[in-house]
Amino acid sequence: MWGMFKERHLKIVAKCCILYQEAELYFKEDELKKLADPSDCVNLVYNHIYKLTTFKDIIADTQDRKSNITSDIIRIEGNDYFLRDNYLNALEKYTKSIASAENGSSYLALAYANRSACLFKGKYYKECLQDINRALSLDYPEKLKPKLLKRKMDAESQKHMQKQVRFYRKPPVIRSKNPLISCAEDSIEIQYNKKYGRHIIATRDINIGEVLSVENSFCHVVCPESKYIHCHECLELCFNMIPCQNCTGALYCSEDCRSNAFKGYHKYECQFPKFLCIDPRMMMFIKLTLIGMDDSKKTKAELPDDIHRSDSFKEIIKLQTHDKECGSMTLYTTATIASIAYHVLKENQEFASKYNTDEDDLNLKKLLFKTFLITTFISFLISKMFNINIINSKELGHALYAFTSLYNHSCVANAQYFHHGSSIVTRAIASIKKGEQITISYGLTFDNQSRAYRQKILKELYLFECDCKACTNNWPTGDNLPFGKEIPLSFILNLEPSQEYNEELDQFILNKCKRLYYQLKNYEPCQNLLILQYNIAQVYRHEACSEVKF
């Protein structure tokens, strides 16, 4: 669920350690731990680090500015790929070149024109024509125009053979709305107890495959590895994005997305130092803080407290239940990063004039601290779990969900989530009895990891001891499991990921797997039951997004 420890994450921690050493904050560790309010933690660390040269260097190391020279170098790299018929890599380079080119320049025109050649090769004629028109509306060199106009004519004549670019499919609609949870079916409810905190319970028997909740993200960001083919604002796949006019880091699928982003939080994000842009979750926690600051100024209609609303900032903040239990390293890193973000936001004139009271200042420090912990531990990684030969294999983004985050973990989860773009659909992946807790996997499953490993990670990251049936009964892992009752394998082989999407075949497989599941469930734990569940999930994955090849 949470793709935590990446190289970029460790880079951030390393920088924080340097500041920690230089400010001799190890003398203050006990003091830091005793502070009750997160704003006091940020205060303490900020007051010790903001004068350090290292801190000043971090702040001064700003994002790359637009530069025609850089744009030209990247475009030439794209040409190399193009000549080797590697059109997807060429396209990503041309898009990067577009993001780097200065507004209105001939370099921008050249990059659009080169990208139109990739789009033509990929049979994306509509996008190709858009890029040609963009190039022609700019300062495109006269001597190159005849070739571009010829491509325009060819694309016009072939656009009836246009390929569709749509990665995500629409999520299903909720059939029987839950009166107390805005995004859920009425088959579930939220309960609370000391052992599990808030958790989700089935209010009736639920069949395998049933939809439990369909939730839009509260906030999301795109990952660096996907940012040249997925919109920064809506995450949809797009092969001919347009750049932010200020920075080189954000690209959009449409004018609407570009202007919505800028009217929203991108105007601040655009000016962040490099340090805050290393990890997409760093951008997300600041975005979340900005949403929280806006929220604090809104006069809100009194809403009934017992209704869970996915779009409520209050619900997101409630997700961080372990502020006080985190280790000193997490505490210190959080306070340091919050201090850096605090400084950057206070330096931003628009922000500083909007939030200028002492109360705002306190609220800002508190929110930065809390939202960093939330995005680090509770954000969902949106990844594309397909064949590596196709573009869908990269990590796409991170998103926060107020309700879906309430599903607790089990190493034998009875529910699974599927990303339809930034929306998330949770379905039963086993049959669930009335009164049973509904659980998802936090990335650890009994068949893949040993009990000892699962317990260790869950304790370290999520601070609980798992008591699922696999942990309690010490179930064996993958190959050591019995096969269970035999199942016919012929139809399962049809679900190889490289298979073209065939809705009819998928539905046939789904129905057969569901029927077999009920015949096998008394043999749990066994390999054949897992195969059936895997294949059912595979159909829902196909239903969530297509496999676009360039």
Ligand X SMILES: C[S@@+](CC[C@H](N)C(=O)[O-])C[C@H]1O[C@@H](n2cnc3c(N)ncnc32)[C@H](O)[C@@H]1O
SS3 content of the chain, % helix, strand, coil (to 5): 50, 10, 35
Among 408, 414, 441, 535, binds ligand X (CB under 6 A): 408
**Structure tokens given for 166:** 């749509």
Question: Which CB, 196 or 534, lies closer to ligand X?
Answer: 196
Task: Indicate whether 375 belongs to the interface with ligand X (CB under 6 A).
Answer: no
**Closest distance between ligand X and the C-beta of residue 9, in Å?**
19
Task: Indicate whether 115 belongs to the interface with ligand X (CB under 6 A).
Answer: no
In degrees and rounded to multiples of 5, residue 312 shows phi and psi of: -100, 125
Task: Indicate whether 409 belongs to the interface with ligand X (CB under 6 A).
Answer: yes
Question: Which CB, 371 or 392, lies closer to ligand X?
Answer: 371
Task: Indicate whether 6 belongs to the interface with ligand X (CB under 6 A).
Answer: no
Per-residue DSSP letter, 277? G
Distance CA(303)–CA(315), nearest Å, equals: 13
Map the footprint of ligand X across residues 281-320, applying CB under 6 A.
319
**Structure tokens given for 323:** 């502020």
Q: Residue 396: which H helix or E strand, with range? A: strand 395-400
Total of chain residues touching ligand X, rule CB under 6 A: 17
Question: Which CB, 197 or 435, lies closer to ligand X?
Answer: 197
| Residue (of 239, 341, 238, 232) closest to 282 by Cα position | 341
Q: Residue 213: which H helix or E strand, with range? A: strand 211-215
**Closest distance between ligand X and the C-beta of residue 321, in Å?**
5
Map the footprint of ligand X across residues 417-476, applying CB under 6 A.
462-464, 466
**Closest distance between ligand X and the C-beta of residue 404, in Å?**
9
Task: Indicate whether 406 belongs to the interface with ligand X (CB under 6 A).
Answer: yes
Question: 170, 420 in Cβ contact below 8 A?
Answer: yes
**Closest distance between ligand X and the C-beta of residue 206, in Å?**
19
Question: Which CB, 321 or 480, lies closer to ligand X?
Answer: 321
In degrees and rounded to multiples of 5, residue 427 shows phi and psi of: -125, 155
Question: Which CB, 254 or 437, lies closer to ligand X?
Answer: 437
Map the footprint of ligand X across residues 165-204, applying CB under 6 A.
196-199
Question: Which CB, 8 or 199, lies closer to ligand X?
Answer: 199
**Closest distance between ligand X and the C-beta of residue 530, in Å?**
20
**Closest distance between ligand X and the C-beta of residue 454, in Å?**
11
Distance CA(113)–CA(94), nearest Å, equals: 9
Question: Which CB, 151 or 454, lies closer to ligand X?
Answer: 454
Per-residue DSSP letter, 548? -
Residues paired with residue 221 on neighbouring β-strands, in sequence order: 398
Question: Which CB, 164 or 193, lies closer to ligand X?
Answer: 193
Task: Indicate whether 2 belongs to the interface with ligand X (CB under 6 A).
Answer: no
Question: 365, 38 in Cβ contact below 8 A?
Answer: yes
**Closest distance between ligand X and the C-beta of residue 409, in Å?**
4
Edge-first strand order for the sheet with 197-202 is: 188-193, 197-202, 437-440, 408-409
Question: 423, 213 in Cβ contact below 8 A?
Answer: no
Classified as helix, coil or strand, 439 is: strand
**Closest distance between ligand X and the C-beta of residue 293, in Å?**
23
Q: Residue 297: which H helix or E strand, with range? A: helix 280-297
Which residues sit at the interface with ligand X, rule CB under 6 A? 196-199, 319, 321-322, 378, 405-406, 408-410, 462-464, 466
